[in-house]
Amino acid sequence: MSKQAVLVVGGAGFIGSHMCTLLDAAGYAVIVLDSLVSSRHRAAIPGVFVEGDMADSALVERICRQHRIDAALHFAAFIEVGESVRDPAKYFENNVIKTLKLVEALRAASVDKFIFSSTASVYGLPGAEAIDESLPVKPINPYGMTKLSIEQALASYEQAYGFRSVRLRYFNAAGADPEGELGECHDPETHLIPLILQAASGRRDHIKLFGDDYGTPDGSCIRDYVHVLDLCRAHLAALERLNAGLPGDVYNLGNGGGYSVLEVVEAAREVTGCEIEVRREARRPGDPDVLVADAGKARRDLGWTPEYGLRDIIAHAWRWEQVLCAERGAPAQGTPLR
């Protein structure tokens, strides 16, 4: 039997590249479409690689027909909350307009299964200990608004056109391939764990703590960090759900436990054995104080249980940080903890 062909849009990015490896290992034929605007993993990903824009309808339709694409996974989004506040047009253009064009091209090519990377940012300021999917969605930043717009479009496309989709609301994606082949590498980097590890390795001399006056026990924001491989395993389960003919749905993906920024720094000091200097700064616009998942629905419907906790996430990301340092010809040289 021939392999099921899946299109991975944004397959050269952080989560997309890990997804390609997992899909390949699971026996899917992987076809990647990536514009390479913010990706580095071109060389490391399996399958067929096409460089191009997801809004290029003719290209998407051609790829789908040529490779008999049966389902698509979409990772090609801009993801920085702070930047989305400063430059919302960039986010609405890419994350909404281009994504809708992609979906239209898929529909034109008779692809009717879609996995969408959404975000906990759709909940805004949920004010609950653990967030489940029944809570109201009220994003407080343009990034979350763009993701919610697509979720809503997809839900109505499923009703009207039978274009089935699983919308996965990630909490804080982090970690790296434990073998050190792939990892997070945004430029500029804005995410907490890679920045902390750059401070540990000596690539930067400190990290900024954005706000120490939130309504949390130590005043810093609390987030639910989830390993990239756990996220990818959830996508695989979501794809299997659609393959089994079941309807699309929306799921939270998180570990169900929250850590403050200062707790993450402390855990990173312990894992790396290196000093990490923290400088307190003003709040970053658009940041809610606490975001922690109740991922019970994903556990029940997708059989998904995350394998990795915060320390694994940091340990794997630390290995990757050492790969990045070595690539720059400057091995990690942090200051050992006293």
What's the closest the beta carbon of residue 214 comes to ligand UDP, in angstroms? Answer: 8
Does residue 114 bind ligand UDP (CB under 6 A)?
Answer: no
The structure tokens listed for 197 are 């590890």
Say whether residue 204 binds ligand UDP (CB under 6 A).
no
Catalytic residue among 143, 170, 225, 251: 143
Residue 294 CB, nearest distance to ligand UDP (Å)?
17
Of 229, 294, 223, nearest in space to 260 by CA: 223
Provide the minimum distance between the beta carbon of 336 and ligand UDP in the complex, in angstroms, as a whole number. Answer: 23
| Gap between the Cα atoms of 166 and 250, Å rounded | 6
CB atoms within 10 A of CB 163: 20
Q: Does 122 bind ligand UDP (CB under 6 A)?
A: no
Residues 79-98 that bind ligand UDP (CB under 6 A): 81
User: Tokens 């749905």 appear where?
Assistant: 249
314 contacts ligand UDP (rule: CB under 6 A): no
**272 touching ligand UDP, by CB under 6 A:** no
Residue whose token pair is 């942090």: 334
Is 163 among the residues that bind ligand UDP (CB under 6 A)? no
Binding span for ligand UDP by CB under 6 A among 202-210, 241-249, 267-275, 323-331: 202-210
Nearest approach, Cβ of residue 280 and ligand UDP (Å): 9
Distance, CA of 24 to CA of 45 (rounded, Å)? 9
Binding residue (CB under 6 A) for ligand UDP from 57, 190, 322, 335: 190
Which is closer to ligand UDP, CB of 106 or CB of 195?
195
Asked if 284 touches ligand UDP (CB under 6 A), the answer is: yes
Min CB(60)–ligand UDP separation in Å: 28
Q: What are 91-96's contacts with CB under 8 Å, separation 24+?
A: 91/142, 91/143, 91/146, 92/142, 92/146, 95/143, 95/146, 95/147, 95/150, 96/146, 96/149, 96/150
143 catalytically annotated: yes
Instruction: Look at the alpha carbons of 140, 94, 194, 297 in this order and tell me if their dihedral is positive or negative.
Output: positive
Q: Helix, strand or coil for residue 250?
A: strand
Q: Is 207 a binder of ligand UDP (CB under 6 A)? A: yes
Answer yes or no whether residue 38 interacts with ligand UDP by CB under 6 A: no
Torsion angle of alpha carbons 25, 27, 28, 32, nearest 10°?
A: 30
Binding site for ligand UDP (CB under 6 A): 81, 172, 190-192, 195, 207-210, 221, 223, 261, 284, 287
